[in-house]
Structure 1
């Protein structure tokens, strides 16, 4: 007998519908996008942040694609809801760290994005593949899950 499988859900279910719409409108307005694309970005932002908050030590850096990072930056502008998002689920806050340290070598998108997508799927959330296509990254959650490591970009805070 095989183990039951859980169907992936949209990460937008992690926040109140009214806030999801507010965040989506912010993404649309700031980046000049249609509301449908902005909603998809907002959903993937929440999926990325949920996965990053729940990742196991030693997993390695997770990072939003540049497209999804647009949503991360918009969410960060809502400081109280951003903090409440993590607190309400009992997760550690995901900080955002730009990959701009000249003396540090960062992993490639070809390594980090597949790891990030696996973490999102393993956390039970749907992935919108078109929003994760990239050849470069600008940030991540942290380098390997150890708080003392030099921070990359995805983990804003």
Structure 2
């Protein structure tokens, strides 16, 4: 079976959504907080975090979850509230809140289905998926009680 598309699907590198100065700040934050992550890897993480935020904003009410690495980028962005708020308004048209799940709350479909739903939302929004950064999902339950950035997990 062949499916004909009316228009070609283009893929956008999500790093282009972020001002280069902001990208540099976020990259620096990630490499400072996570010295095991190189600057080039941190930059890739920032790009995937931008795509995650944008895709999340386009899928209200649908549970999308970042990978552990992309979660580092999202948390770095959240710490830069002015930059984060501006990005959300410009790219999504509204603020995208970080809403951690309760510790005993699981996504009904399971982690693999949630990962696939998240990456499908990326692709539907036209963003390139950096597969190497998506081996597993973050366990983000109440920040500083279970997030990948949590001191409890270090």
Give the CA deviation at 1:90.
4.7
Give the CA deviation at 1:80.
0.6
Unpaired segments of 5 or more residues in structure 1? Answer: 141-152
Name the SS of the counterpart of 1:97 in structure 2: coil
Question: Could you tell me which residue of structure 1 aligns to residue 107 of structure 2?
Answer: 106
| CA 1:137–1:16: 2 relative to 1, 3 Å | closer
Corresponding residue pairs, total: 137
After TM superposition, the runs of 4+ consecutive aligned structure 1 residues lying more than 3 A away are none
Question: Could you tell me which residue of structure 2 aligns to residue 137 of structure 1?
Answer: 138
C-alpha contact 1:54 1:91 (8 A) present in aligned 2: no
Q: How far, CA to CA, are the matches of 1:24 and 1:46 in structure 2?
A: 12
Question: Could you tell me which residue of structure 1 aligns to residue 63 of structure 2?
Answer: 61
**Deviations along 1:89-111, whole A, 9 cap, x unmatched?**
35222211223343x33342201
Name the SS of the counterpart of 1:125 in structure 2: coil
Question: Could you tell me which residue of structure 1 aligns to residue 152 of structure 2?
Answer: none
**Deviations along 1:59-83, whole A, 9 cap, x unmatched?**
x300101111011111000001111
C-alpha contact 1:41 1:67 (8 A) present in aligned 2: yes
Unpaired segments of 5 or more residues in structure 2? Answer: 142-146, 148-154
Of 34, 40, 51, 1:36 maps to: 40
Q: How far, CA to CA, are the matches of 2:106 and 2:64 in structure 1?
A: 15
The alignment status of 1:49 with 2:46, answered yes or no, reads no
TM-score (norm 2): 0.80
TM-score (norm 1): 0.78
